[in-house]
């Protein structure tokens, strides 16, 4: 038999066309992985596709800048949208389908439902962006039902989102496995993000200081210094460098409960800060011994 070449990737905009593709794969008994994104692709997104390819026969990615997760003064209009480049990057990485729906395909004009995971969405990013996780949970429920995957991949870069997705899938009884993937960083340590494109040259040079400070703080906390004072000193140093800090705190890895006194179990240090007009977020494990 001649060697079959990988068919070219399909780009679909309609959920009906997506459904046809999915039914085709299902009939062949293939395992389907799903990688949702908002585009503006970088190696962090592509790492999810790499992970997906290991465990699934078919990888479906989506690009959808979800209006429901942006507040009125946030960057919905300026969010990077370059579908040509993104599609080429997904194809290069070996995706089989890219789903790029219009807003109406996800939210028809009479759409009224919201999905919320209140136990996890009120802290960290949810405290300063009240609409954020409701928007995310709602869009992902829609996407999961349209794509109908066996497994879906999310980055630990958005750790709170990963927890919320896991809870949502469990609570709704969706037959989907949710896999978390490690944070991909630039060489200087800055966590890759679509929003890094907004940074000026000067801000880009300063941005890795956030991760450096986080590493320093973790080292000090695990060597026995008081959490509160370590965090205070770190925040002051970051402020002096020009970061406007939203949060810089240690939380438990499953409940996201605040850890204020002793690290008695593996936790995470979570940080979010504005550098100029760019919101940076990051997180890093705080293990009992490092
Ligand atoms: P976004 O396009 O920002 O909605 O992100 C889509 C997916 O890519 C989410 O699961 C993110 O957590 C993941 N992601 C974004 N940046 C990174 C990164 N630097 N490393 C790993 N995953 C990432």
How do strand 243-252 and strand 267-275 relate by DSSP bridges?
antiparallel
Q: What is the pLDDT at residue 262?
A: 85
Average per-residue pLDDT in the chain? 96
Rounded to the nearest angstrom, the distance between the alpha carbon of 224 and the centre of ligand 1 is 32
Nearest CA residue ID for atom 11, ligand 1: 155
Residues with active-site annotation: 45
Q: How many residues does the chain have?
A: 290
Most ligand 1 atoms within 8 A of CB, residue of 155, 168, 270 to mutate: 155
Report yes or no: 144 and 169 within 8 Å, Cβ to Cβ.
yes
Task: Give the binding-site residues of ligand 1, using a 6 Å CB cut-off.
Answer: 37-38, 44-45, 47-48, 154-155, 157-158, 181, 183-184, 191-194
Rounded to the nearest angstrom, the distance between the alpha carbon of 172 and the centre of ligand 1 is 23
pLDDT band at 290 (very low <50, low <70, confident <90, very high): very low
Most ligand 1 atoms within 8 A of CB, residue of 158, 164, 211 to mutate: 158
For the segment 191-203, the average pLDDT, to the nearest whole number, is 98
Rounded to the nearest angstrom, the distance between the alpha carbon of 12 and the centre of ligand 1 is 21
Rounded to the nearest angstrom, the distance between the alpha carbon of 177 and the centre of ligand 1 is 17
Nearest CA residue ID for atom 7, ligand 1: 37
Q: What is the pLDDT at residue 37?
A: 98
Residue 151 vs residues 37, 50, 91, 107, 216: alpha-carbon distances, Å = 15, 13, 20, 23, 36
User: What's the predicted TM-score (pTM) here?
Assistant: 0.96
Nearest CA residue ID for atom 17, ligand 1: 44
Condensed to tens digits (0 to 9), the pLDDT of residues 2-43 reads: 555 556 899 999 999 999 999 999 999 999 999 999 999 999
Q: What is the pLDDT at residue 172?
A: 98
For the segment 97-114, the average pLDDT, to the nearest whole number, is 98
For the segment 147-170, the average pLDDT, to the nearest whole number, is 98
Condensed to tens digits (0 to 9), the pLDDT of residues 111-153 reads: 999 999 999 999 999 999 999 999 999 999 999 999 999 999 9
Q: What is the pLDDT at residue 288?
A: 75
């Amino acid at each position: 038999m001649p060697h079959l070449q990988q068919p070219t990737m399909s780009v679909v905009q309609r959920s009906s066309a997506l459904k046809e593709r999915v039914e085709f794969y299902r009939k062949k008994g293939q395992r389907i992985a799903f990688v949702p994104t908002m585009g503006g692709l970088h190696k962090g997104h592509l790492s999810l596709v790499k992970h997906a390819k290991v465990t699934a026969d078919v990888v479906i990615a989506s690009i959808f800048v979800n209006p429901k997760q942006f507040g009125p003064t946030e960057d919905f209009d300026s969010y990077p949208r370059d579908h040509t480049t993104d599609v080429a990057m997904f194809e290069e990485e070996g995706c089989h389908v890219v789903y790029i729906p219009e807003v109406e395909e996800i939210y028809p004009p009479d759409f009224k439902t919201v999905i919320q995971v209140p136990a996890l969405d009120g802290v960290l990013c949810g405290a300063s962006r009240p609409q954020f996780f409701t928007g995310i949970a709602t869009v992902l429920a829609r996407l999961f039902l349209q794509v109908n995957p066996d497994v879906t991949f999310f980055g630990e870069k958005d750790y709170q989102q990963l927890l919320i997705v896991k809870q949502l899938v469990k609570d709704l009884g969706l037959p989907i496995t949710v896999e978390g993937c490690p944070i991909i960083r630039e060489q200087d340590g800055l966590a890759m993000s679509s929003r890094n494109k907004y940074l000026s040259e000067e801000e880009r040079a300063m941005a890795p200081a956030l991760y450096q400070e986080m590493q320093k703080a973790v080292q000090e906390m695990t060597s026995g210094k008081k959490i509160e004072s370590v965090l205070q000193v770190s925040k002051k140093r970051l402020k002096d460098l020009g970061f406007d800090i939203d949060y810089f705190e240690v939380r438990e890895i499953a409940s996201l409960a605040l850890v204020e006194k002793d690290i008695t179990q593996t936790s995470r240090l979570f940080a979010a800060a504005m550098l100029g007009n760019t919101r940076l977020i990051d997180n890093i494990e705080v293990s009992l011994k490092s």
